[in-house]
Amino acid sequence: MKTPQEPETTRLWRAPKPEGAASQAEPAGGLGGHPSDLKIPRQPLAKRLISFPALLGGLLVAGLFVPLREFDGDPDLWYHIKFGQDILATHRFPTVDTYSFTAHGTTWMANEWLGDVLLGAVYRAAGLRGLLALDLALGAAILVALYASAWLRTRNSKAGFVACALLLPLVFVSLSLRPQMLGYFFLILTLIIIERFRQGRSATLWLLPPLFLVWVNTHGSFVIGLFAVGVYGITGLFKLRWGALESMPWTAAQRLRLGTACLLSLSVLAITPYGVRLPGYPIDMAFLQPIGVAHVQEWGPMSFNQPFGQYFLALLAAFLLAQIVFRPTWQLAELTLFFAGLLAACLHTRFLLVFVPFSAPLFATILSRWVPPYQPGKDKCALNALLMAAVVAGIIRFFPSREQLESRVARHSPVEAVQYILRHPPPQPMYNNYEFGGYLIFALDGRNKVFVDGRADIYERTGVLADYASIAGVEQSALPLLRAYNVQSCLLKQGEALATLLAASSQWQKSYADDLSVVFVRSHTGE
Amino acid sequence: MTGKRLISFPVLLGGLLVAGLFVSLRDFTVDGDLWWHIKVGQTILATHHWPTTDVYSFTAHGMPWMAYEWVGEVLLAAVQRAWGLQGLLALNLALGAAVVLGLYALGTLRSRNSKAAFVACGLLLYLTAVSFTLRPQMLGYLLLILALIILERFRQGRVGTLWLLPPLFLLWVNTHGSFVIGIFAFGVYAISGLFEHRWGGLESRRWTPAQRLRLGIVFLASMIVLVVNPYGTKLVIYPVDMAFSQPVNLSVIREWQSMPFNSAPGKLFLGLLVGFLLALVALRLTWHLAEFTLFLFGIVAACLHARLVLIFVPFCAPLLAVILSRWIPPYESGKDKLALNAVLIIAIVVGIARFFPSQTQLQSRVEEQWPVKAVQYLEQHPPPLPMFNTYSYGGYLIYALDGRNKVFIDGRADIYERVGVLADYGRIGRVEPIALRLLDVYSVQSCLIERNEALGTLLATSPRWQKVYADDQSVLFVRTQISVALRK
């Protein structure tokens, strides 16, 4: 598209053509655009709300609702609710552990306190249905933001939709209701803000400092946001063209704005109930918690024998093939983030949530070669409105009842065992399966202190996590360790190795069992 | 001229690769399967019969089974009989060196740059060495690289070597199941030359009619020779059985797990993958359809099963050499310092000879890895049978007890999966609630297991079992009433 008179910089900053004006012969594989190039015909808000792109967004949300309605409650959800409830009740931020007997009194902070408070408040107001509604709302916000991010890069809503639909199975892996969902959402918002800035719309950049203020108090993933902003900032310090990689320098005004916004964003990170200790937490997590990273499943490497791992691999192979066949051009920043996302997801499955937002704009760009852009003139608004109404009605109609949700929670959390424990308090202290810890903190309301729960950080620092691994792994030291902690009862998962060991031991007696869990108490007659 | 080539710089580079390999191999890490492979080979050499049923275990005794890697097993047994552990290490080194030099030749053939091929092989050496445990699969690995060299030479117009493929496949099908990967590679090369096209950075050139005819004949001949084996078509279809009918084996045996990115080889693999992607974007290189298809296949295979990194490496080496050749200048024979090369090559040979471990050192390495002392105890104090054993110990027990004790399980996961023993072993090893009952069902009277496994903790707790022997590695339990009787 370069004309002989056109300077190189203008060519590089050409915007993807807006939908309705784009030529199909020109794939949106180039760089983003400058505001002066953008002439998107604006439609009235009401019309936009029932446009085909909005319908596509609605379809994504509908696709998300189907798996999310199987709400089973992440094991960590329960302690987050409890922490939030306690902060709401006491108006104080915890500084020491009060929930376990193994790390009781040890320094600890509720590093995701804002998310905890939100979860605590929603549960208090609307119970399990409120939690599912929040899960759906956050999931929908994430997906719609992802769709917006892909559209922003390609200006092709249909390609953005297909990219998001392709990534949906990977998105779903990360959508268990926890404060990390807010972090996920903030990351995509950051990418949108920075992409808009790259395309010349500077004003939204000022949203970054308040966003980081909320983010640092919500989830440790704010460091990934800082990294993304840093990558965009640094790659805009020089001009580069290396094969299909391009980078354009910021103007002096852009540099100033970006520098100021970054500085402000960094400054607000200290505005937390725990001061600078909270922004330092992710570094502690990354470098000082090897046992947590090695043993906790979501920190494990990408597992290609799982369906989502195989799907991830297929997407990767498709990207590689597309790269060699179509040779699209990428900005240095977006490709750097894509690689970072790829590495992070391979090293730790949990970081699929980083790979997805970093890859969605790239997949949309590739897909926009085949998917024609949206043409408002051909839109059938009435049909869109009807379908969107059907989506909303479907969600309302199939929204699970409280009883249904309670029965789903009972499939994965020791609900019946807790009722038994409340009726027949076992001797204390009680050892518990790692995944049950969060629910015990929530359901027993502090009456029983737990052995361990999803806060791997505090248990790693005190050495409890390593001991837990030895006990749960039925190592030779398992029974001596139970004795060393003076454990008098154990709440375990049915079928776990320790349950087999205790059943074979004359020192322990099974006092309760259901389909999910089993309680053992120490039998002093056997000693 | 030949003498000059033998002390040229490219040969020195090959020598350096072998030296690097020796450093990692001299530690003599023995795979548990080596032992039963040797025993099977010894049996074939002694009886001149190929086994058709299992005779080594009490759990699958009499079940149909074939020694599908029999050529490799006979080779291992012959070497062990002739030269003992030193012979085995020498064979390991020889096969490893042949593989690495084959890779180096392949990289050089594709890039026409021996220095770039050396750097590529040097980078891949670490990944390659992971697969260099002495087993018949090393022969399969070597044969795969030879097949790729033959195909690449054919693509470059040197047709004569193509006729080596049928005898190569004849040897391969009798040695290791990886021959199916060779057939796949052959097919990819053949099919990608049926049309002429260019898609971005991918190109394919059409074979000439003469090339097509030769390829067709050789392919047909290679297919026909596959049935020339002691087991007929059953041996040929074994890899298919492995891929589709052994889900437990694929899901529980470690080498069939997906690529562990938290390990050092996994991280190197990931680094290479990202580096290749970056090169694709930045350098806009052009690849042949066949080589890129194989490379993509290698990535997917290695990600799905860490063991198949041995496929990724030979598919990756030529591409990596081509990428590196952009920065690494080619070898110039005029600048070569032959005397210095000769000195260094001799130093490598002397170094390998000087630091080659003694029989005693190797024996002590084996003792560190395998239940040698426990087997001595078992021979002095025969335990009540049948005896349960840890999966990895099975091969050594078959070898060292010479069939006197039948094992519960060993590395031949295929036969144990078919009879349900592999699944039961998993339940016992994971200490599921049914574990002790399963030991009863199999009438197990004693258990030889690794010292720190969960089952040991369970048996030590159970009043029905008693520990009668333990060393740094392993522990032996017998049923209580029997141990009481033994004490009496």
A296-335 pLDDT, tens digit per residue, is 777 889 989 889 999 999 999 999 999 999 999 999 999 9
C-alpha–C-alpha distance, residues B67 and B234, integer Å: 11
Question: Sheet containing B446-450: which strands, arranged edge to edge?
Answer: B387-389, B446-450, B474-479, B465-470
Does the pLDDT value for residue B271 go beyond 70? yes
Last residue of a domain, one of A363, A382, A401: A382
Q: Which residues of A touch B278 (CB under 8 A)?
A: 339
Mean pLDDT of A128-146: 95
- Cross-chain residue pair A497–B432, CB shorter than 8 Å: yes
- Cross-chain residue pair A474–B457, CB shorter than 8 Å: yes
- Cross-chain residue pair A339–B433, CB shorter than 8 Å: no
Least confident range of A381-385, A409-413, B124-128? B124-128
In this complex, which of A242, A294, A305 lies closest to B251 when CB atoms are compared?
A305
- For residue B289, give the nearest of A345, A520, A466, A321 by alpha carbon: A321
C-alpha–C-alpha distance, residues A99 and A112, integer Å: 16
User: In sequence order, which residues have a C-beta less than 8 Å from that of residue A500 and are 6 or more positions away?
Assistant: A474, B431, B432, B433, B435, B436, B458
C-alpha–C-alpha distance, residues A2 and A135, integer Å: 47
- For residue A302, give the nearest of B250, B262, B312 by alpha carbon: B262
Report the percentage of chain B scoring pLDDT > 90. 81
Contact A435, A458 (CB under 8 A): no
Does the pLDDT value for residue A523 go beyond 90? no
Does the pLDDT value for residue A474 go beyond 90? yes
Q: How confident is the model at residue A27 (pLDDT cuts 50, 70, 90)?
A: very low
| Residue A93 is assigned to a structural domain of this protein | no
- b/e per residue, A88-102, with b = 16+ CB within 10 A? eeeeebbeebebbbb
Q: Which residues of B touch A294 (CB under 8 A)?
A: 262
Between the alpha carbon of residue B136 and those of residues A471, B91, B95, B302, B385, the distances in Å are: 40, 11, 10, 19, 31
In this complex, which of B201, B432, B435 lies closest to A324 when CB atoms are compared?
B201
Does the pLDDT value for residue A478 go beyond 80? yes
Longest dimension (CA), chain B: 84
The answer for B 416-445 residues in CB contact with A (under 8 A) is 430-433, 435-436
Mean of the per-residue pLDDT values for chain B?
Answer: 92
Q: A500 CB near a chain B CB, below 8 Å? A: yes
Q: Which domain holds residue A280?
A: 46-75+111-382
| Residue A316 is assigned to a structural domain of this protein | yes
Does the pLDDT value for residue A246 go beyond 50? yes
Least confident range of A74-78, A171-175, B45-49, B120-124? A171-175
| Residue A499 is assigned to a structural domain of this protein | yes
- Cross-chain residue pair A309–B258, CB shorter than 8 Å: yes
User: In sequence order, which residues have a C-beta less than 8 Å from that of residue B487 and are 6 or more positions away?
Assistant: none
Number of structural domains (chain A) is 2
Residue A13: the pLDDT is: 35
DSSP state of B293: H
Residue A290: the pLDDT is: 79
Query: A330: nearest CA in chain B?
Result: B281
Q: How confident is the model at residue A28 (pLDDT cuts 50, 70, 90)?
A: very low
Residue A30: the pLDDT is: 42
DSSP state of A517: E
Q: A303 CB near a chain B CB, below 8 Å? A: yes
Question: What are the start and end residues of each CATH 3.40.190 domain in chain B?
Answer: 370-487
Residue A41: the pLDDT is: 57
Mean pLDDT of B86-105: 96
**What's the CATH fold of domain B370-487?**
D-Maltodextrin-Binding Protein; domain 2 (3.40.190)
Mean pLDDT of B382-408: 93
Q: A245 CB near a chain B CB, below 8 Å? A: yes
- Cross-chain residue pair A506–B266, CB shorter than 8 Å: no
CA distance B251 to chain A (A): 8
- b/e per residue, B46-70, with b = 16+ CB within 10 A? eeeebbeebebbbbbeeeebbbbbb
Least confident range of A14-18, A223-227, B2-6, B98-102? A14-18
Q: Indicate if A259 and A167 belong to the same structural domain.
A: yes
| Residue A215 is assigned to a structural domain of this protein | yes
Does the pLDDT value for residue A38 go beyond 50? no
Residue B144: the pLDDT is: 97
Q: What is the pLDDT of residues B410-465, one digit of tens each?
A: 999 989 999 999 999 999 999 999 999 999 999 999 999 999 899 999 999 998 99
C-alpha–C-alpha distance, residues A51 and A53, integer Å: 6
- Residue A29, SS3? coil
- Cross-chain residue pair A300–B262, CB shorter than 8 Å: yes
Q: How confident is the model at residue A23 (pLDDT cuts 50, 70, 90)?
A: very low
Does the pLDDT value for residue A6 go beyond 70? no
Q: What is the pLDDT of residues A75-125, one digit of tens each?
A: 999 999 999 999 999 999 999 999 999 999 999 999 999 999 999 999 999
Q: Which residues of A touch B309 (CB under 8 A)?
A: none
Q: Which residues of A touch B284 (CB under 8 A)?
A: 243-244, 327
Residue B333: the pLDDT is: 86
| Residue A402 is assigned to a structural domain of this protein | no
Does the pLDDT value for residue A42 go beyond 70? no
Query: B200: nearest CA in chain A?
Result: A325
Q: What is the pLDDT of residues B2-21, one digit of tens each?
A: 678 889 999 999 999 999 99
User: In sequence order, which residues have a C-beta less than 8 Å from that of residue B203 and are 6 or more positions away?
Assistant: B197, B286, B287, B288, B289
Beta-carbon contacts below 8 Å between A and B: 115
pTM for this one?
Answer: 0.89
Does the pLDDT value for residue B52 go beyond 90? yes
Q: Indicate if A372 and A487 belong to the same structural domain.
A: no
CA distance B252 to chain A (A): 11
Residue A497: the pLDDT is: 95
Sign, CA torsion B403/B406/B410/B415: positive
| Residue A82 is assigned to a structural domain of this protein | no
Residue B133: the pLDDT is: 87
The answer for A 461-480 residues in CB contact with B (under 8 A) is 473-476, 478-479
Query: A342: nearest CA in chain B?
Result: B274
Q: Indicate if A470 and A363 belong to the same structural domain.
A: no
Residue A525: the pLDDT is: 54
Query: A508: nearest CA in chain B?
Result: B461
Q: Indicate if A376 and A436 belong to the same structural domain.
A: no
Q: Which residues of A touch B458 (CB under 8 A)?
A: 474, 497, 500-501, 504
DSSP assignment of A256-281: HHHHHHHHHHHHHTT-STTTTHHHHH
Residue A19: the pLDDT is: 56
Q: B262 CB near a chain A CB, below 8 Å? A: yes
- Residue B198, SS3? strand
Does the pLDDT value for residue A33 go beyond 50? no
Query: B285: nearest CA in chain A?
Result: A324
Q: How confident is the model at residue B159 (pLDDT cuts 50, 70, 90)?
A: confident
Residue A228 token pair: 């993304």
Q: Indicate if A310 and A446 belong to the same structural domain.
A: no
State the angle between helix axes of B70-111 and B359-369 in degrees (0 to 180), rounded to the nearest 10. Answer: 100
Residue A285: the pLDDT is: 75
Q: How confident is the model at residue B1 (pLDDT cuts 50, 70, 90)?
A: low
Q: Indicate if A246 and A131 belong to the same structural domain.
A: yes
- Cross-chain residue pair B200–A305, CB shorter than 8 Å: no
Q: Which residues of A touch B281 (CB under 8 A)?
A: 243-245, 323, 330, 335
Mean pLDDT of B192-218: 93
Report the percentage of chain A scoring pLDDT > 70. 91
Query: B197: nearest CA in chain A?
Result: A325
In this complex, which of A473, A479, A500 lies closest to B435 when CB atoms are compared?
A500
Query: B460: nearest CA in chain A?
Result: A476
Mean pLDDT of B45-71: 95
Query: A318: nearest CA in chain B?
Result: B296
Q: How confident is the model at residue A447 (pLDDT cuts 50, 70, 90)?
A: confident
- Cross-chain residue pair B454–A474, CB shorter than 8 Å: yes
C-alpha–C-alpha distance, residues A400 and A314, integer Å: 34
Residue with tokens 């009807």, as numbered in its chain: A386
Q: Which residues of B touch A324 (CB under 8 A)?
A: 200-202, 280, 287, 292
Q: A238 CB near a chain B CB, below 8 Å? A: no
Better-predicted residue by pLDDT, B284 or A405:
A405
CA distance B430 to chain A (A): 7
- Cross-chain residue pair A500–B458, CB shorter than 8 Å: yes
C-alpha–C-alpha distance, residues A121 and B105, integer Å: 67
